[in-house]
Each structure stands twice: as structure tokens, then as C-alpha cells.
Amino acid sequence: MEIETTPPVGPTSTPASKPELPQILQYPSTPPRLITQGAEALLYRSTYLLPTIPCALKYRPPKPYRHPILDLRLTKHRILSEARVLVKCRREGVPVPAVYALDETSGWLMIEWIDGEVVRIRLNEWLKRRRDNGVAEGVDDAELRGLMQTVGSAVGRMHGVGVVHGDLTTSNLMLRPKNLVNVNGNREGATEINVLDGEVVIIDFGLASQSIQDEDRAVDLYVLERAFGSTHPRAASLFKEVLSAYGTSFKGANGVLKKLEDVRMRGRKRSMLG
């Protein structure tokens, strides 16, 4: 659901070197459009059942460097694992995309298309606007505080159902506007003024797992904290708002926040040692 479109990256020697696409991508109701490509999967935008229902289709192509049997087993495991996590979160009220369909043998997972933009883009837009207007840090930042609290609450609810994300960054948090004009995500004529206003939806559970260990949850928070520090340093000072909302939304937060201090200490030692 990342809106930045990237061209396909892969073998360019001959058409025969490209992996054969699954049938759902060869004969879809709407021609799929490649949105982005990661190390393990390609993300397409298509439709589900009706041309008016957009969906995201995640496809894990075969890896030629892996043994075919091992590759098939890994693909099946990862598709099913991601789907189970999404279904569990959705059932428990965690803001994640709904699962529409899957074929673990062919290596694809079809989920709900989330309108809006990733938090990274919206937050950078907001920070740039304030910088251009000469607004100092900490002044009139209620909008940013509200976003941080919304993020903390979403993460707390996810951890509360026994799921850890594994790659919690602002690129894997979608901000779905409260006022939408159409399913294409166009905000023309929308009444919203605050670009940070909306529902935070957690996406990309490719590295997620089911765990109730405080250590795993603390690592999730540490990764998110580092993401804010490196990608949005002007907003990093308000990460305490994330932790505050996390503590309110998750009953077991006290143990996780204590473990977070240990994780931070290990991270600082690792940084000093290089």
C-alpha cells in the first residue's frame, strides 16, 4: 500500500529468465499494477471480485538460488504465517488489512487495499511544512502528539493479542484519512486539514510472528524508536508519547517497557563497539 511506484527490478537478459507469474496475475479482473518490489516479494494493486473493490496482491516469486523443494516449503510457510497473523489481528480488532484470498502453493496473498499514505511520507510532509514556516520544535505540536499516541495505541493492541511485527518502521504504518473521496486514495475535495489526522493501519507482516515474550515486544518498540530517530529526528523527542499510549492500550506494557531499557543498553554497546 506504499504509494511510491518503482519499476520492476530483476533479470533483463531474456524473457525466458523471468519467473512465470501465477494465474491470478495473468487473468485478473483488473490488470495488476506493480507498486513496489522488496527482497522477497512483489506488491501489486489489483481488484477483488468486482472492479470497484481494490486489493493488494503480494506475490513471492520462486528463488532460483534455492533448491526448488526448500523454496516451495519456505514460500508456503511464509504465506500461511502472514495470513494467520493478519486474521488473528483482524479478529481481535487490531488495525490491519483484511485477508481476501491466498494460494500458498502459487505464492500469493491477496489483502485489503489501504487508502492513504505511509506515516513516513505524511510525517515528513508535516515536518517540512513547519520548517518552511519557521515553527520551532515543541511549539503547536498537538497534531504530532496525537499521531504518536495513535501509533502507540495500535502497536499496543497488536502486542496485546500476541503478535510481534518484526519490522516496525514508519514505512510499515499506513495513515488512512478519515475523509476520503474515492477508492483511488485521491483527497481532492476532502475536508481534512491536518495531514497527520487519520487511522493508523499496520501493514507488511512478512516478518511477523506470534509471541508473548517481553523481549520480542521490546525489540519491536526499539526498532520503531530507531526508525523515528533516523528518519524523523525532529519528531524523535516525542517518542515518549508512543510509549505512553502503548502503556495505556496494553496491560502487560510495564514488563515490556522495562525490557526496552535492556534492549536500548545492548544497542548502545553495539554502537560503541561498531
Active site residues: 167
3-state secondary structure string, the chain?
CCCCCCCCCCCCCCHHHCCCCCHHHHCCCCCCEEEEECCCCEEEEEEECEEEEEEEEEECCCCCCCCHHHHHHHHHHHHHHHHHHHHHHHHCCCCCCCEEEEECCCCEEEEECCCCEEHHHHHHHHHHHHHHCCCCCCCCCHHHHHHHHHHHHHHHHHHHCCEECCCCCHHHEEEECCCCCCCCCCCCCCCCCCCCCCEEEECCCCCCEECCCHHHHHHHHHHHHHHHHHHCCCCHHHHHHHHHHHHHHCCCHHHHHHHHHHHHHHHHHHHHHC
